[in-house]
Amino acid sequence: MFVALLILAALAAPLIAPADPIRQSLRGRLSAPTFAGADGKAHLLGTDHLGRDVLSRVIYGARVSLLVGFAAVIVGGLLGASLGLLAGFRGGWADSMIMTLADAQLAFPFILLAIGIIAVLGPSLPTLIVVIGLSGWVTYARVLRSQVLVLRSREFVDAIHALGGSVLRVIARHVLPNVLSSLVVIATLELARAIVLEATLSFLGLGVQPPTPSWGGMVQEGREYLDSAWWISTAPGIVLMLTSIVVSRTGDWLRDLLDPTLRGE
Amino acid sequence: MALALVGQSAPTFFIGILLILIVSLNLGLLPTSGREGWQSLVLPALTLGAFAMASIARLTRSAVLEVLRADYIRTARAKGVTEALVVVKHTLKNAAVPIVTITGLQFGTLLGGAVVTETVFAWPGIGRLAIQSIYNRDYPVVQCTVFISAVLFIVINFCVDLIYGLLDPRVRAG
């Protein structure tokens, strides 16, 4: 429900946002949440240090967060799924190389690597999406590989080979339908992680650049005004936290739904 | 477990901001940031620990539930051992191996989280050093911080392997 509402808010941002998210107003700076601000308009979540309406910025920020989140999940999913399929079907050196790469990435705090990559390439939306996507491929690859290893030795796969079916046909018609449910679960959990990672990078100043509103960036901007204007940081932060909790709960729920063996644990 | 859920889902930097807001500004108990004695350590430690706390709590819960089903727990209860002793001595000790493993692995996440936490609290640590040297393109310092983090991670996990032997005598023979 909450996610649907959020997607709707992001899509319809220009229609429902009460004000222009980057329009500044020096007279209406640091206004507390109010129905009638100094400039005569209602600011339900107050205004920030440049007089921009916080509620509008939170709504527009949803666009950035969801766009980066979904795009990163697609990038990571495609990469991880293809590498996992390759590792599972080929075996041998391809398998050991891909898995070594995955272990190496898991052993290292990824956020340092992400900061390094972004610092070298310069912060931009595509860079952000690719970096966050890269951070998530390992999970897909591992799960797909293990599932492929199980499926590969099943009789129906042998039967297709015997009948002259190609490897691609096996993947498309028999492996993918079998692993689709676990892919959906991972993608949901990855979405929550991607949104939080985007906010973290934006918070550090390496993600979405001002004046484009993003939740992480807004928390960072409000940090210096915490004792005088608590709403600047708190509003986007709470929305971000709710989003993350709801999306990961959805992931847990999907997992229980699609995998009856886990139920009741 | 609701607390664990929040700890695992909420972004580190926002937990830090919330703690500053409530504990430092509203209650005036602790300094907001910087390095002024032990008081400045409390909030960063809580912030950084929140994520690890959440996953350790979840794992401990499932490990303890599993051990509680074992026969020797029923035996212990049957011979009249007090409930507190059953939990601490019989259950927790047998559930400890996965808990210690995840605690060791969490250390890697902590190093990453330290970057964010130290930025929030303006704590002059290795995480902030790393991020500042990346901003300044000071690559020798970047290499050094990454190297030290990696060595720490390996040393900690080696210690974890040693602790297995202390916890579970069966491991020592192998």
- pLDDT tens for chain A, 265 residues long, are 677 777 776 676 666 666 666 666 666 666 666 666 555 566 666 777 676 777 888 888 888 888 888 999 999 989 988 888 888 877 778 888 888 888 777 766 677 778 778 877 877 888 888 888 888 888 888 888 888 888 777 777 778 778 877 777 777 777 777 788 888 888 888 888 888 888 888 888 777 777 778 888 888 877 777 777 777 788 888 888 888 888 888 888 887 777 655 544 4
Please report the pLDDT score of residue B57 as a whole number. 85
Higher pLDDT, B173 or A53: A53
Please report the pLDDT score of residue A75 as a whole number. 92
What is the predicted ipTM?
A: 0.73
Tokens of B56: 């350790």
Tokens of A108: 């290292």
**Is A204's CB within 8 Å of B18's CB?**
no
Residues of B in contact with A224 (CB under 8 A): none
pLDDT tens string A214-241:
888 888 877 777 777 777 788 888 888 8
Please report the pLDDT score of residue A37 as a whole number. 57
3-class DSSP state for residue B34? coil
- State the average pLDDT over residues B78-106: 81
- Residue count of chain B, please give it: 174
Residues of A in contact with B62 (CB under 8 A): 265
Residues of A in contact with B8 (CB under 8 A): 248
pLDDT tens string A88-135:
877 778 888 888 888 777 766 677 778 778 877 877 888 888 888 888
Whole-number mean pLDDT of chain B? Answer: 80
- Residue count of chain A, please give it: 265
Our CA-based measurement puts residue A173 at a distance from the nearest CA of chain B, in whole angstroms, of 36
- β-sheet bridge partners, residue A34: A43
Closest CB from A200, A230, A234 relative to B13: A200
Residues of A in contact with B28 (CB under 8 A): none
**Is A230's CB within 8 Å of B25's CB?**
yes
Output phi, psi for A224, to 5 deg: -75, -15
Cβ contacts of residue B115 below 8 Å, gap of 6+? Answer: A109, A111, A112, A115, A204, B127, B128, B130, B131
In this prediction the pTM is 0.80
For chain A, give the secondary structure using H, E and C.
CHHHHHHHHHHCHHHHCCCCCCCCCCCCCCCCCECCCCCCCCECCCECCCCCEHHHHHHHHHHHHHHHHHHHHHHHHHHHHHHHHHHHHHCHHHHHHHHHHHHHHHCCCHHHHHHHHHHHHCCCHHHHHHHHHHHCHHHHHHHHHHHHHHHHCCHHHHHHHHCCCCHHHHHHHHHHHHHHHHHHHHHHHHHHHHHHHHHHHHHCCCCCCCCCCCHHHHHHHHHCCCCCCCHHHHHHHHHHHHHHHHHHHHHHHHHHHHCHHHCCC
Please report the pLDDT score of residue A265 as a whole number. 40
- State the average pLDDT over residues B21-31: 77
For chain B, which residues lie within 8 Å of any Cβ of chain A, measuring from their own Cβ?
A: 5-6, 8-14, 17-18, 20-21, 25, 32, 62, 108-109, 111-113, 115-116, 119-120, 130-131, 134-135, 137, 142, 146, 149-150, 153
Please report the pLDDT score of residue A264 as a whole number. 46
CB A61 within 8 A of CB A213: yes
Residues of B in contact with A115 (CB under 8 A): 115, 130-131, 134
Q: If you search the block for the tokens 């927790």, which residue do you land on?
A: B92
| pLDDT tops 50 at residue B40 | yes
User: What is d(CA B19, CA B25) in angstroms, rounded to the nearest whole number?
Assistant: 9
Closest CB from B5, B13, B146 relative to A203: B13
User: What is d(CA A159, CA B150) in angstroms, rounded to the nearest whole number?
Assistant: 48
User: What is d(CA A199, CA A7) in angstroms, rounded to the nearest whole number?
Assistant: 17
Please report the pLDDT score of residue A13 as a whole number. 65
CB A140 within 8 A of CB A183: yes
Residues of B in contact with A230 (CB under 8 A): 21, 25
CB A44 within 8 A of CB A18: yes
pLDDT tens string B137-171:
788 888 888 788 778 878 887 888 888 777 777 76
Our CA-based measurement puts residue B136 at a distance from the nearest CA of chain A, in whole angstroms, of 9
> Which residue from B minimizes the CA distance to A122?
B135
C-alpha A45 chain-centroid distance: 25
User: What is d(CA A31, CA A37) in angstroms, rounded to the nearest whole number?
Assistant: 7
